[in-house]
Copies of this chain bind each other. A is one copy, B any other.
Amino acid sequence: MPRLSEHNLIERPDEHGRPLGRREARKRATRTALVNVAQRRFHDDGFEETTLDDICDEVGVSRRTFFRYFKSKEDLVFPNRAERLERFVKVLTDAPDAENPFETLRRATRLFGPEYMVHREQLVAQQALIARTPSLRAREAEIDRDWEAVMARTIMGRTGDDRASAVRARVIAGACIGVIRATMRHWFETGGVEDLTQLGEDALDCLERGFALR
Residues of A participating in the B interface, judged by any CB pair closer than 8 Å: 98, 100-102, 134-135, 137-139, 141-142, 144-145, 148, 152, 163, 166-168, 170-183, 185-186, 190, 199, 203, 206-211, 213-214
Task: State the Cβ distance, A181 to closest chain B Cβ, in Å.
Answer: 6
* Alpha-carbon gap, A210 to B203, bound state (A): 12
A146 to chain B, nearest CB (A): 11
Q: Which residues of chain B have C-beta atoms less than 8 A from A170's C-beta?
A: 182-183, 185-186
Which of chain B's residues have a CB closer than 8 A to the CB of A173? 182
Question: What residue of chain B has the Cβ atom nearest to residue A72's Cβ?
Answer: B134
Q: Closest CB of chain B to A183's CB: distance in Å?
A: 6
A208 touches which one: B98, B102, B210 (CB < 8 A)?
Answer: B210
- Please give, as numbers and ranges, the residues of chain B lying within 8 Å of A166 by CB-CB distance: 186
Beyond A171-B203, A173-B182, 12 extra complex contacts between A and B, CB < 8 Å: A100-B213, A100-B214, A138-B142, A163-B190, A170-B182, A174-B183, A175-B178, A176-B178, A177-B178, A178-B178, A207-B207, A208-B211
Least Cβ–Cβ distance between A195 and chain B, in angstroms: 12
Of the candidates B142, B152, B185, B210, which one forms a contact with A207 in the assembled complex, judged by CB atoms under 8 Å apart?
Answer: B210
Q: Please name the residue on chain B nearest to A204 by beta carbon.
A: B171
Q: Does A167 contact B179, Cβ atoms closer than 8 Å?
A: no
Given contacts A177-B178, A178-B175, A207-B210, contact A142 B142 (CB under 8 A): no
Q: Which residue of B lies closest to A206 (CB)?
A: B171
Measured between beta carbons, the chain B residues less than 8 angstroms from A179 are 171, 174-175, 178
Q: Which residues of B contact A148 (CB under 8 A)?
A: 178, 182
In the complex, what distance in Å separates the CA atom of A171 from the CA atom of B183?
Answer: 6
Residues of B within 8 A of A152 (CB): 182
